[in-house]
Amino acid sequence: MRHGFLLDLDGTLYHGDRPIPYAAEFIRWLREKGHPFLYVTNNSSRTPEQVAAHLIQTGIEARPEEVLTSSQAAVMYLQETGARTGRVLCIGEQGLKTALEDGGFEPVAEDAPEGTVAAVVQGIDRTFHYGKLLAAVRHIRGGAPYILTNPDHLLPWNGELTPGAGSIAASIERAGETPPVVIGKPSPIIMRYAVAKLGLAPAEIWTVGDNLNTDIRGGADAGCRTALVLTGLANAANVDEQMARTGVRPERICAHLMELAESLG
């Protein structure tokens, strides 16, 4: 039987700069079996080319066209909701800026006058400062839509947790008194685009990841089948507690990716 796969990255295929055992073997298995797949990431800081290059560095074959980032999905959402072009206040890094430019938008600095931007689009921004907060709040309170690439408050990186885009969003939302439109997992927005890109029915697609609250919740809400791998945020020691706390139960729980492959035949 032919399956599609939506694959998480950090915690599922690698840990920061370190490959996870069996990840490269699993991707080779997908290619040999002819199963279509997509690398789906909430990380807005990298372009698809950079995501693919990072995967290759960890020993995993990847191509830019096999990647869907939250930055790309944010641009697709802007286009779908009517903002085909225009100036956008971009609070983010190169991946978000490049996606906006490729989509026909002009990222502008925080000194853009109120009323001159089509939206405020925010992702992870490791140069975030008070001036950017002030600009975002001014535009949002002036009526500009607020788009958030992903809600992750913390990001795992080489065994450490660092503040994510959701932590920045907390300050913008509090001061702007406006909740953002969230694009990344578990939002149905990125999942809908990912399913459409694979061209299969949701029931034919496995969403695979290590995070119950983003990967597995997002996949289940989209009508996909779900497989949790115990190689990241979820592991053998904490998976029962995490399922009880989140209320999310995957269809399958696997120690690693090749265990999932072997179970599918």
Question: Nearest to residue 144, comparing CAs of 123, 172, 124, 170?
Answer: 172
- 10 in catalytic set: yes
- 17 in catalytic set: no
**N-to-C CA span, the chain:** 9
What residues have CB less than 8 Å from 42, skipping those under 6 apart? 70, 149, 150, 152, 165, 184, 185, 190, 214
Cβ–Cβ < 8 Å for 29, 59: no
Out of 10, 152, 210, 215, the active site residue is 10
DSSP string, 27-96: HHHHHHHT--EEEEE---SS-HHHHHHHHHHTT----GGGEEEHHHHHHHHHHHTT--SEEEEEES-HHH
By annotation, the residues acting in catalysis are: 8, 10
